[in-house]
Amino acid sequence: MLDGAFKYSPNILYPFLYAIVQTGARRSEVANLCWTDVDFATNRLTFRETKNGESRSIEMSKGLRSLLQFLRFKDLKHQYVFINEEGRKLHRQKIHRMVTRLKRLYPIPGKDWGCHALRHSFAYNFLKKGGEMYQLKAILGHKTIAMTVDLYGNLRSHDVSNPSPYDF
């Protein structure tokens, strides 16, 4: 999917989807990300406009940090991290149209996915690689542990392997 996104839209959709894949954040949280929310000194992203109303900060992966540094170097004048061709904030409708076109151009047989499916994929892989439910709750920004357990508590023990939970 990311390979197709890179071929289809290397400057707009690919970085946006890559951020979702690397953080597990919601589409709106990534779209609302401003450069003031990216701290390269502490290697952290802060999501301020979240569904539950509370800000949260997460550590950037090496790949995401590199991508964001590249984007920042290319663009020093815009407020938002992810922008459209006109330099304005990337909005929901534009994202939806681009994802729909990407899925048509680069279909994944047997898979119908959207941005929220990438969030679920992040959570599944985090747990599969040994991450803890309370860590996942904090990363995803769930209000309660019960919500995290309800959504992801059915991961089977034979699905869990032993590598680092941060090595995606």
The CATH number covering residue 23 comes to 1.10.443.10
pLDDT for the residue 163: 46
User: Does residue 29 form part of some domain?
Assistant: yes
Q: Is residue 128 part of a domain?
A: no
> Domain for residue 102, yes or no?
yes
Q: How far apart are the C-alpha atoms of 80 and 90, rounded to whole Å?
A: 8
Tell me, what's the pLDDT at 73? 86
According to the model, what pLDDT value does residue 168 have? 42
Residue 37: inside a domain: yes
139 in any annotated domain: no
pLDDT in the model for residue 159: 60
What's residue 155's pLDDT?
64
Domain of residue 43, residue span: 2-113
- Strands laid side by side in the 56-59 sheet: 38-39, 44-47, 56-59
Q: How many domains does the chain have?
A: 1
In this prediction, residue 58 carries a pLDDT of: 93
In a domain, 39, yes or no: yes
Q: Is residue 48 within 8 Å of residue 55, measured between CB atoms?
A: yes
3-state class (DSSP) for residue 65: helix
Q: Does residue 68 sit within a domain? A: yes
Q: Domain for residue 75, yes or no?
A: yes
For residue 47, list its beta bridge partners: 56
pLDDT attached to residue 111: 86
Helices (H), strands (E): how many in the chain? 8, 3
| pTM of the predicted structure, to 2 decimals | 0.86
Mean pLDDT for each 10-residue chunk of the chain (168 residues)? Answer: 95 96 95 96 94 91 96 86 93 95 93 91 91 93 91 68 48
* pLDDT, position 22: 95
Which pLDDT belongs to residue 9? 96
The confidence score (pLDDT) of residue 76 equals 75
